[in-house]
Structure 1
């Protein structure tokens, strides 16, 4: 129990520091001092700050996956994913503008891929689309959503993600199912 508390405290302090300072200005010593632990305790849990950052994004990814499992809605899952970004705008900018931008990009890409893959699985039940086409459709939406989120971050996160995500859902409603049916028809021709 104490280990979970310490790990949680380290993560929370790091996010607070990241909301105040660029990533390259935060040291293990800063985190340890703010947590009132020694540096060895930090290293017991994490190899470095980047491992800590990766764990935070992995944890947020799990929250999004859990949301999808609860609601079966890609839109609701994305809204949950943007909640962390909105609550920690400065921290997200600091990661986005750092050498560790790839962690953020991978997080968004993984969220997009996981959610769209699960959504496609649900929508495609009973449709005999080819596996290759399923992967292609998932990849297309994964890349599109990833780029949209990254552009949203780059532009200052000004637009309300809830409104945008729901609008995208309305505009593209039925397209994935239609694509899967087209795949099934194309496969039956050959």
Structure 2
């Protein structure tokens, strides 16, 4: 119990600092001082600052997976998933502009993939689309969503992601089901 509390405290202090300054300006010394723990305690849980960052993204991904609801559209699921980024815009921007950008890109890619794979599976329940095509459709939307989010971050996160995501949903409404029906009608033989 105390271990979980300490790890959570370290992650929260780290996020708070990341919302205040760039990643390369945060040290283990800063974190342990703010947490009022010793360096050995920090190193018991994490190898370095980047391990804290990695665990934060893994924890957030698990939250998205746990909160996924089959009654939600992919748009609503994605908006729920974007909550962490919206609550920590500066931190996300600092990671994006750091040497750890790949960690952020992988997180976004994994969240997008999780949402789209589940959504494609739900839509395809009554459609006999091939497994290969289901994966291809989910992957296409996963890549598109990932790149859209990265562009949004690169442009300073000014536009409202809720509005953009809902607009994309309206513009592409029915395309996934249509693609799945096309798959069912194709002769792969």
TM-score range, shorter-chain basis? over 0.9
Where structure 2 has 5 or more consecutive residues not aligned to the other structure, the ranges are none
* C-alpha distance in structure 2 between counterparts of 1:158 and 1:65, whole Å: 27
* C-alpha distance in structure 2 between counterparts of 1:116 and 1:154, whole Å: 23
Normalization by structure 1: what TM-score?
Answer: 0.95
* C-alpha distance in structure 2 between counterparts of 1:179 and 1:70, whole Å: 20
Change (3 A) 1:152 1:184: same
Map Cα deviations across residues 116-172 of structure 1 (whole Å, 9 max, x no partner). 000000000121111111111111000000000000011111111111111111111
How many correspondences in the alignment? 189
Q: Residue 32 of structure 2 aligns with which residue?
A: 32
Q: Residue 179 of structure 2 aligns with which residue?
A: 179
* C-alpha distance in structure 2 between counterparts of 1:17 and 1:92, whole Å: 12
Shift, 1:66, TM fit: 2.3
Stretch deviating more after TM superposition (103-112 or 63-72): 63-72
Where structure 1 has 5 or more consecutive residues not aligned to the other structure, the ranges are none
Cα RMSD of the aligned pairs, angstroms, is 1.3
Shift, 1:81, TM fit: 2.2
Q: Residue 79 of structure 1 aligns with which residue?
A: 79
Stretch deviating more after TM superposition (60-69 or 9-18): 60-69
Map Cα deviations across residues 70-103 of structure 1 (whole Å, 9 max, x no partner). 6432212211222211211111111000000001
Map Cα deviations across residues 4-46 of structure 1 (whole Å, 9 max, x no partner). 1111110010001111111111111110000000011011111
Stretch deviating more after TM superposition (126-135 or 98-107): 126-135
Change (3 A) 1:11 1:74: same
2:152 pairs with 1:142: no
Normalization by structure 2: what TM-score?
Answer: 0.95
2:160 pairs with 1:160: yes
* C-alpha distance in structure 2 between counterparts of 1:97 and 1:45, whole Å: 26
